[in-house]
């Protein structure tokens, strides 16, 4: 059985999730050093707390940018300004952020191979966003053509 949420409700829930993630990212600024210390102790490998901290903070900042862009994109969708240049820019920035995280985790993978899983996930998501950006870009072109058809 499938549950269909009205568009406004799905938007509402997604925005709530965005706020939750934003809070997590802000909290991350404090929690990251604690988490890296804990992970270093648990992993049983050579401690690399500094590298983990640097990567963690970089990912946190990039994630923050991506979430803000996602928030703007959802606001555009709510205002019925879906196929606009602004939405394309949001998607482009989100895809760059995903690739940025993929690169950071790719480098971290040389110390902790588990990070390559995040590289794969972020890279895959970045590619998806890139495809979506191209679709939106095409839709913007079509809309403009339609607007200028008299």
Partner 1 sequence: MPIVVNLDVMMAKRKISAGDLAERIEITPANLSILKNNKAKAVRFSTLEALCEALDCQPGDLLAYTKEDQPE
Tell me which residues touch partner 1 (CB under 8 A): 144-145, 148-150
Kindly tell me which of 45 and 144 has the beta carbon lying closer to partner 1. 144
Kindly tell me which of 34 and 147 has the beta carbon lying closer to partner 1. 147
* Contact criterion met (CB below 8 Å) for 88 and 137: yes
Kindly tell me which of 10 and 144 has the beta carbon lying closer to partner 1. 144
Kindly tell me which of 34 and 145 has the beta carbon lying closer to partner 1. 145
Cα 108 from chain centroid?
A: 19
DSSP assignment of 8-47 equals HHHHHHHHHHHHHHHHHHHHHHHHHHHHHHHHHHHH-S--
Residue carrying structure tokens 């401690």:
47
Rounded Cα–Cα distance for residues 20 and 26 (Å):
10
Cα 109 from chain centroid?
A: 20
């Amino acid at each position: 059985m499938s549950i269909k949420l009205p568009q406004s409700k799905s938007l509402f829930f997604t925005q709530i999730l965005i706020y939750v993630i934003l809070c997590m990212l802000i909290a991350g600024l404090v929690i990251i050093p604690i988490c890296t210390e804990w992970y270093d102790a648990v992993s049983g490998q050579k401690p690399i707390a500094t590298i983990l901290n640097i990567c963690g903070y970089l990912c946190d900042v990039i994630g923050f940018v991506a979430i803000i862009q996602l928030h703007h994109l959802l606001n555009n969708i709510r205002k019925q300004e879906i196929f606009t240049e602004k939405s394309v820019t949001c998607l482009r920035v989100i895809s760059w952020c995903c690739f940025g995280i993929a690169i950071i985790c790719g480098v971290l993978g040389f110390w902790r191979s588990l990070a390559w899983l995040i590289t794969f996930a972020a890279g895959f998501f970045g590619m998806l966003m890139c495809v979506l950006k191209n679709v939106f870009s095409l839709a913007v072109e079509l809309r403009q053509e339609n607007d200028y058809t008299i």
